[in-house]
């Protein structure tokens, strides 16, 4: 049987490369506070990987008042300012365990590496983390029509690398993100212990277990 070879690895950013989820949670809570509503941790979790405007809409809806589109946009700008204040302090120390080693392993093996994040701050975050130079391509979420859970951003990342989808592995920790990967021919890697992650081709509890040799093995055995 013909088997595709692993040629590229596509990363989600928040919760896979760096633990920025708390920065998002805080920015969301701060916006909710300003609108005099509260959001639970579960709600905050459900926002993972969802586009900013959708999160703002969900938080604004809790007030029971109708917001004009221009107000939603303004709230989104404000929420992003809060987020940027939180990520300004990011440094290489905030990389999740094993990520730097894994990126180096991929580089040494001549793998193609791309980023597929919904975050409009991806460029700044990669810079702060000191890992921009590892990436051959970063997919700009502003360039895709549909956000996660649609597969568009992962397909764009593979297209930018010029690697066929079946030769790619994609790493996600969020439900919307994993749904996006599962809608592609890519090999899916799920990071974390949430039940939905069991749907991934390879589910690891955390990033420390990411090893190229095992990824290759599992990719070939799919």
Residues classed as catalytic = 12, 14
Q: Tell me the CB-side half-sphere exposure of residue 18, using CA atoms within 13 A.
A: 26
46 versus 67: smaller Cβ distance to Ca ion? 46
Which among 189, 179, 11, 4 is positioned nearest to 99, based on CA atoms?
11
Residue nearest to Ca ion (CB): 15
Minimum Å distance from CB 44 to Ca ion? 13
Minimum Å distance from CB 159 to Ca ion? 21
151 versus 174: smaller Cβ distance to Ca ion? 174
Minimum Å distance from CB 177 to Ca ion? 5
Sequence-ordered alpha helix ranges (H) in 130-170: 152-161
Reply yes or no: is the peptide bond before residue 29 cis, omega within 30 of 0: no
Of the residues 174, 180, 202, 212, which one makes contact with Ca ion according to CB under 5 A: 174
Binding to Ca ion by residue 175, rule CB under 5 A? no
Q: Is 89 exposed, middle or buried (0-12, 13-18, 19+ CB in 10 A)?
A: exposed
Binding segment toward Ca ion, per CB under 5 A, in 72-80, 99-107, 140-148, 167-175: 167-175
Q: How far apart are the first and last CA of the chain?
A: 12
Which helix (DSSP H) or strand (DSSP E) does residue 123 occupy?
helix 122-129
Binding to Ca ion by residue 15, rule CB under 5 A? yes
Minimum Å distance from CB 117 to Ca ion? 8
Which residue ranges make up the site for Ca ion (CB under 5 A)?
Answer: 12, 14-15, 173-174
């Amino acid at each position: 049987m013909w088997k595709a070879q692993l040629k590229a690895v596509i990363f989600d950013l928040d919760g896979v490369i760096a633990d920025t989820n708390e920065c998002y949670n805080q920015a969301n809570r701060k916006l909710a506070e300003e609108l005099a509503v509260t959001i639970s941790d579960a709600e905050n979790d459900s926002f993972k990987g969802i586009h900013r405007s959708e999160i703002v809409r969900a938080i604004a809806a809790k007030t029971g008042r109708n917001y004009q589109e221009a107000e939603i946009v303004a709230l989104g700008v404000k929420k992003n300012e809060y987020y940027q204040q939180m990520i300004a302090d990011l440094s290489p120390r905030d990389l999740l365990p094993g990520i730097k080693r894994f990126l180096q392993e991929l580089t040494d093996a001549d793998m193609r590496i791309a980023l597929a994040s919904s975050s409009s701050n991806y460029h700044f975050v990669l810079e702060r983390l000191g890992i921009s130079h590892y990436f051959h391509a970063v997919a700009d979420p502003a360039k895709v029509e549909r956000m996660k859970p649609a597969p568009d951003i992962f397909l764009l990342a593979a297209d930018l690398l010029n690697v066929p989808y079946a030769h790619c592995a994609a790493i996600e920790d969020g439900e919307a993100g994993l749904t996006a990967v599962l809608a592609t021919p890519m090999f899916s890697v799920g990071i974390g212990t949430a039940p939905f992650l069991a749907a991934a081709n390879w589910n690891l509890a955390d990033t420390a277990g990411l090893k190229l040799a095992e990824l290759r093995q599992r990719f070939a055995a799919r």
